[in-house]
Amino acid sequence: MVNEKVISDITEKWSARKEHLMNLFRNRDKSAVKEPMDEAIDAFLTFLFVINGKRPPDQEVLQNGLEDLDYKPINLDERLSFILKKPSQYHSFVQLNELYHEVLKLYATMKIRKHKK
């Protein structure tokens, strides 16, 4: 069962984090970017697994957990791998932002399909 409260909290926090991260990247403050990016990545993974009705796995077994997801963005493995390897790069932030948008769309699609049943 999808926890609406958790999803709402994650999406609201992402909006604030996104603004904060954009300011850090705009100011080229790479040393301050890592921690908020790590938090945003963890929140994204929680979001992704919650909409799939699963608990997020540990980082060590993350790849195996991604294979079992019914709702996930295209090329998630490659994109997430890039983000995890280089979280301080601006392109990682751009990819993470796109992944958030795609998962929000998947979640909306999932809700519509379940409502029609």
How many Cβ atoms are within 10 Å of 68's Cβ, its own excluded?
11
What integer pLDDT is reported at residue 112 of this predicted model? 86
* Contact call for residues 40 and 22 (beta carbons, < 8 A): no
Residue 93: predicted pLDDT: 97
pTM score? 0.86
**Cβ neighbours of residue 2 closer than 8 Å, sequence gap 6 or more:** 50, 51, 53, 107, 110, 111
pLDDT mean by block of 10 residues, the chain; 117 residues: 78 92 91 93 91 76 74 92 94 97 91 79
User: Position of tokens 């608990």?
Assistant: 55
Amino acid 103 reads V
- Contact indicator for 107, 51 with CB cutoff of 8 Å: yes
- The structural domains of the chain, with segments of one domain joined by +, span 4-116
CA distances from 42 to 10, 26, 115 (A): 10, 23, 29
Residue 8, judged by CB atoms within 10 A of its CB (0-12, 13-18, 19+), counts as: exposed
Quote the pLDDT of residue 59: 64
From the number of C-beta atoms within 10 Å of its C-beta (0-12, 13-18, 19+), residue 27 rates as: exposed
